[in-house]
Amino acid sequence: MLEVPSGGTRRDRVASPEEAEQLLAALPLGDRALWATALYAGLRRGELFALGWEDVDFEGGVVRVRRSWDVKARVTLEPKTRAGRRTVPLASTLRAHLREHKLYTARRSGLVFGTDGVKPPDPDAVSQRALRCWTKAKPMPLTPIGLHECRHTFASLSVTITFDRYGHLMPGNEEQAAGLLDVYLEASTAARPQG
């Protein structure tokens, strides 16, 4: 029997659809959309913090990734590679979180996340608030997840890898990919025991 070495690195955590719902529900309203975008669109931390409302296309059903926020240099950067610029399907559950966030913040332009639409959120504050909420969740604490791990969750839930590789071959692919993710998430929710 062939044994493949593990490489000595830890496995990144992936949340199930049910767990993702619980994690989001435990957060304050002002933080839910950011974490939902990480979980259901797979954006990197810098991409989340540079996301503008002009990048969220509710009509077209996509989120356009066009830039990233460099936390250390405190500047917005253009993607380094062509792959850094992409379009991500907008699943209905994420659409709902983003619409709720838009109403909550009363902003129609500027940055999606942050306190004023101009300055990105503080990454440490975002993570610390989430950690406090998840460890104090009732009836029992939730296992925390990091923004990077949310990206792994998205990859495990979606067809993004196939979409990125072959999506250009199929017209209307964004809507189809979002629909497939919606069907999977709805089936996971329906399959769990009610009680």
Q: In the chain, what are the domain boundaries?
A: 17-185
Band of residue 186 on the pLDDT scale cut at 50, 70, 90: confident
Residues 6+ apart with CB under 8 A from 86: 64, 65, 164
pLDDT in tens, 48-63: 999 999 999 999 999 9
Res 10 pLDDT > 80: no
Task: Please write the tens of the pLDDT for every residue from 108-136.
Answer: 999 999 989 899 999 999 999 999 999 99
Would you say how long the chain is, in residues?
195
Q: Tokens representing 1?
A: 């029997």
* Average pLDDT along the chain: 85
**Residue 194 pLDDT class (50, 70, 90 cuts):** low
Token representation of residue 100: 């709720």
In the predicted structure, residue 185 carries a pLDDT above the cut 80: no
Phi, psi of 177, rounded to the nearest 5 degrees = -65, -45
| CA–CA separation, 130 and 110 (whole Å) | 24
CA-to-CA separations, 44 to 1, 129, 139, 188, in angstroms, rounded: 38, 19, 31, 25
Rounded CA gap, 15 and 20, in Å?
Answer: 6
**Does residue 178 have a pLDDT over 70?**
yes
CATH of range 17-185; options 1.10.443.10, 3.30.70.260, 3.40.50.2300, 1.10.10.10: 1.10.443.10
